[in-house]
Amino acid sequence: MGMMNLEAMTKFRDNYRNGIALGYSGWLHMLTVLLVGLGVIIYSFSQLHGVTWLEWVVFPGMMLMVNFAEYYAHRWLGHRRTRYGKFFYSRHTGDHHSFFLDHAMEYKTVRDWRVVLFPVYLIFVFIVVLILPGAYVLSELVSANTAYLYGAAGISGYLFYETMHFSYHIPQGHWAQKLFLAVPGWKALRHLHVLHHKRNKMAKANFNITLPIFDYFLGTLYWQPFAEFEAQTTKPDKSPP
């Protein structure tokens, strides 16, 4: 990472942090999303009765749809200026990719979670705009079980995204990162996201945050060996604040 990029990023981080509301709580932010999401999932599973194997197919099918939605929104809204996605573009490319670069991926304080996690209101929008209407249609046309599985899978996909993305920005050596390192494949998935944060790759590759399913099928999967990445990227002398 060049010195000018480091200086620009440090300045951006200072300005961004100064703009965060004094009352913002990273823990409240995270716990609200987690409790709402888990509440929907637990309630949905509690309503299931006599589920058939064909109805169970709804769950992985919906998870796959969320994976594509993650890819689509990230690639074509998060990194392209569109009239209806300009807020997301500003928050993602403008804020997130200015705050974190490929060799400065770690948050420093809990207040930095503001630029890592989706806004709290988004999970409510997701539920009202996508989950409830879809569940209603399935309950009317198919069965109540498929409706509840659809809802549980949709929110599971949402929380999976938030969890994985957050984990990629945990500071090196943090106890939480050590837990993720014990998960098979997590280190490689994090590296894919690190590569996505290279300035010359962010709009071209590695748009899946969770599992790189559609990056693979749509030809946007990019891999660079760990050693080669470290050798080609100049680290700053000090970790940026």
Q: Would you state the structure tokens that stand for residue 113, as one six-digit string? A: 């979670």
Give the count of beta carbons closer than 10 Å to the beta carbon of residue 31. 11
Contact 166, 29 (CB under 8 A): no
What's the CA gap between 116 and 107, in Å, rounded?
A: 8
Query: What is the pLDDT at residue 235?
Result: 54
pLDDT tens, residue by residue, 90-141: 999 999 999 999 999 999 999 999 999 999 999 999 999 999 999 999 999 9
What's the CA gap between 127 and 131, in Å, rounded?
A: 5
Classify residue 119 by its DSSP letter. P
What 3-state class would DSSP assign to 104? Answer: strand
pLDDT tens, residue by residue, 192-212: 999 999 999 999 999 999 999
Average pLDDT over residues 29-47: 98
State percent of the chain over pLDDT 70: 95
What's the CA gap between 140 and 143, in Å, rounded?
A: 7
Beta-bridge partner residues of 101 = 104
- The whole-angstrom distance between residue 32's C-alpha and the CA centroid of its chain comes to 16
Beta-bridge partner residues of 146 = none
What's the CA gap between 69 and 16, in Å, rounded?
A: 28
- For residue 6, give Cα distances in angstroms to 13, 144, 198, 240: 10, 53, 13, 7
Mean pLDDT of the chain: 94
Helix runs in 47-183, H state only: 53-56, 58-72, 86-89, 97-99, 121-126, 132-141, 144-168, 175-181
Classify residue 169 by its DSSP letter. T
- Give the global pTM: 0.94
State percent of the chain over pLDDT 90: 90
Q: Would you state the structure tokens that stand for residue 187, as one six-digit string? A: 């280190």
Beta-bridge partner residues of 104 = 101
